Amino acid sequence: MKKRTVTVGRLLGNSKLWLFAIAFGIAAVQVILTWKLTRDSDRLSLTVLSWCALFSLLWKKRNTLKVESDIFSTLFGIFLIATSLIKSTSLFWFESSFIKIAVLFFALGLALIASGFNGLKQYLQEFIIVLLLVIPEELLLQQLENLINTSLLAAKFSTFMLWYLGFTVSRQGVNVILPNGAIEIYAGCSGLNAMLLLLRLSLLFVLVFPTELYKKILLPTAGVLLAFLINGIRVALMAVLVASSNQQAFEYWHGSEGNQIFSTISILVFGILCQLFLHENKLEHPENMEF
């Protein structure tokens, strides 16, 4: 018996644009829910850039994608998307983790509707990007902190920076000590969150823009170091504020608002670095920059 297939392009009027339109709608819903439930600008930035990377990859290979799905794959994909959307409309603040899991369901559902189970292998890069969003930060941060004592590294770097700038400073473990005050650097202030964020962003970059192997290694390394250095400046600033008895300013830069400012600075500087990589890559390989 010959297997019957349902060509999605024919069902939707011979146009892949409908699939892109559905994907854009899902992306908008997911981005809005991310901000509504988390109010975390870092997660929002990562989510937006991840969707942009997904659309960029799909658009580049739009003419080579095999868009053909069987009935079972199509129905199962619709089921995944529908149930995720229904659940997303009734989320509570403590269910924010579902937003990340929903991205996997959305992506899998769209891929099944477009290409079926047999065509999933076409979307390997896209699913890697989805996994970067789905992996829980808390688990990663805990494992990385156990592997590398970033609090101690941050204390050493900020102490060196203050000494180099002429301050009388010393260090005991993770404590940065000035004559009139001291700060203790916990994991939350070590810059690990920012380093993980820029690492993910750098992986998005190397997935979307083809480049040499050494650059694929160099950019993530540069991103991690950049986040560490900028966070070290923040830690040094807080130490100076404590030593000068400026508690109000310390609370601001130690709090979420001050942290977001330095995180935004890290992202902007990293964006400039990526732009330099793009410019160099365009000069070396102009054919790879065509969309």
Phi-psi region of 272 (alpha: psi -120 to 50; beta: other; left: phi over 0): alpha
Cβ atoms < 10 Å from Cβ of 225: 12
Alpha-carbon span 235 to 254, nearest angstrom: 9
Structure tokens, 246: 């400026």
Q: Residue 75: CA atoms inside 13 Å, Cβ hemisphere, count?
A: 4
Which pLDDT score is estimated for 291? 43
Q: Is 2 left (phi over 0), alpha (psi -120 to 50) or beta?
A: beta
CA torsion, ordered 291, 199, 201, 212, to nearest 10 deg? -10
Per-residue pLDDT of the chain (291 residues; tens, 9 = 90+): 444 444 444 544 444 677 788 888 888 888 888 888 777 788 888 888 888 888 888 888 888 888 887 888 889 988 998 888 887 777 665 566 777 788 888 889 988 988 888 888 889 888 988 888 888 777 777 777 778 888 889 999 999 999 999 898 999 988 999 988 889 888 778 888 888 889 989 988 888 887 788 888 899 999 999 999 999 999 999 999 998 888 888 888 888 888 888 988 998 999 898 888 887 777 666 555 444
**Domain extents in the chain:** 8-135, 141-289
